[in-house]
Structure 1
Amino acid sequence: MDLQISVFLLFILFTAGHSFSCYECMSTTGSCANQNLKTCPSGFSKCMSFTTVIQVGIVKFKDCAADCAVGSMNIGTGNTSFVCCNTDQCNVQDAPVPSNVPNGKKCYSCDEKSCSNILSCSGSEDRCLKATGTFGDQSLAVKGCVSKSICDAETSLLRGVERISCCSGNLCNGAQSVTQSFLFLCCSLLSFILLH
């Protein structure tokens, strides 16, 4: 009997020391075929994956996360679907390509000249997003469509973002004009995705 208890306790000690791991990958070719297994740092107990469709192609990304959400976000210059899971190595599959089937919702989005472009939301994007921040010495605004689950996610990991708000009415995220570079707008999207 003592041997069984000792083996049981030894088993518990070994399983308690097991490290959480996720797949990691960054691909601009549209496929995460060459993904590696990564031991996640302390405090990172979720695996995430996203797929972003931009004009020049598809970007796929996988990694460990402290917090993440499931859903999609479209800011006009890029449309991203997010997948989040909380079991060991659960992000082996790539996040799906975001839906492009309109759902009837409309939100404003920004380009290099203004934030008065009207964007048709698709799939699970049932909210309008409005985010402002400072990156370097430039002020930046990002607007678009987003899933409610992403609005509800923890936002404290977003570096440089001062305000994020979501609203549920059509075109509820305002149409004010901003001056910014197109490249800067794309960099902010990647920062939002990679740092969230």
Structure 2
Amino acid sequence: MHLLTLIFGIVLLPKAYTLKCYECEPGISGTCTDSTKECPQGQHCGALRILSYAGGSKLADVNMKTCALDKQCAEGSVNFGISRTVITSKCCTSELCNTQPAPEPIKSNPSGNKCYSCDGQKCTSILKCEGGEDHCISTTVNIGGEKTTVKGCASKLICSATAQIKGVIAGEMTCCQGDLCNSASSTSTGLLLLVAPLGSLVMFS
């Protein structure tokens, strides 16, 4: 009898330490309807928010909820000058605790870092980075069969997810640290205005 109890304990113990969390993916309206999901062992409940701005106006505010690893409970942003996308998250460790959406980002001050950004056909504009944007970024994407280069500032979170992002943009992406390290060069077409679709890959891929 004791042996049987021990066997049941070993089999059921890992299950006892998994969390049930709310999960939702945004629809067309940007809102999501909660369902529940049992997370893999070692993961927390998380809420993610992706906000995109252009010219000081908010273009998108997307919320989602899911299971998350420790490293995914972070904040980050990428700034191309004409557009900026900010990712915030909120994680918790109790049953169905991710009821609230992730918070709006706190208004950030210049970080002191400077990077090149693209304006029309040239990438010679100098952009003052904000908040935790301590890297310069250069990205090449394919839009309508044409290669487009965008440059700007990015936080460590964005740069550490280059492998996931590269699979989506089907182009090159490089990050560097140091003022104006992303070199000025020409671009073949206009600017990429929205990187919100990349945010979910950064956080919850």
- TM-score between both structures, scaled by the size of structure 2: 0.67
Query: Aligned with 1:162: secondary structure?
Result: coil
| C-alpha contact 2:90 2:102 (8 A) present in aligned 1 | no
Deviations 1:107-154 (A, max 9, x none): 122344432222211111111011113244121222211112331235
Residue 172 (structure 1) aligns with: 181
Q: Which one-letter code corresponds to 2:26 in the other structure?
A: M
For this pair of structures, how many residues does the alignment match? 188
- Residues in 2 aligned to 1:179 and 1:98: alpha-carbon distance in whole angstroms: 35
The reply to whether residue 100 of structure 1 matches residue 108 of structure 2 is: yes
Cα RMSD (Å)? 3.8
Q: CA deviation at 1:80?
A: 1.1
Deviation at 1:164, TM superposition (A): 1.5
Q: Gaps spanning 5+ residues in structure 1: where?
A: none
> Within the alignment, does 1:60 sit opposite 2:62 as a pair?
yes
Distance 1:126 1:176 in 2: 21
> How far apart are residue 75 of structure 1 and its match?
1.9
Percent identity reads 26
Matched to 2:132, the amino acid is S
1:54, distance to aligned residue in structure 2 (A): 1.0
Change (3 A) 1:9 1:138: same
Could you tell me which runs of 5 or more consecutive residues in structure 2 were left unpaired when the two chains were aligned.
none
Q: What is the rounded CA distance, in whole Å, between the counterparts of 2:92 and 2:25 in structure 1? A: 18
1:74-85 equivalent positions in 2, closer than 5 A: 74-76=79-81, 77-83=83-89, 85=91
Matched, 1:162 2:171: yes
Measure how far apart 1:7 and its partner are. 6.6
Q: Which residue of 2 aligns with 1:36?
A: 34
Letter paired with 2:16: T
Aligned pair in 2 of structure 1 residues 131, 63: CA closer, same or farther (>3 Å)?
Answer: farther
Q: 2:198 aligns with which of 187, 192, 195?
A: 192
Shift in CA distance, 154/114, structure 1 to aligned 2, threshold 3 Å: closer
The amino acid across from 1:24 in the alignment is C
Runs of at least 4 residues off by over 6 Å: none
**Alpha-carbon distance in structure 2 between the residues aligned to 1:86 and 1:117:** 41
Residues 10, 169 of structure 1: alpha-carbon distance in 2 compared, 3 angstrom cutoff: closer
Of 143, 146, 154, the residue aligned with 2:154 is: 146
Offset at residue 11 of structure 1 (A): 4.5
Partner of 2:75: 70
Q: Distance in 1 between matches of 2:113 and 2:62?
A: 26
Structure 1 range deviating more: 89-98 or 118-127: 89-98
Please report how far the alpha carbon of residue 103 of structure 1 lies from its aligned counterpart in structure 2 after TM superposition.
1.5
The one-letter code matched in structure 2 to 1:191 is P
Q: Residues 172 and 93 (structure 1 numbering): CA distance in 2 closer, same or farther, change over 3 Å?
A: same
Output one character per residue of 1:5-51: Cα deviation in whole Å (capped at 9) or x when no partner.
477457437537x676444353898x96x652353898xx6745133
The range that moved more, 93-102 or 160-169, is 93-102
Which of 111, 114, 117 lines up with 1:109 in the alignment? 117
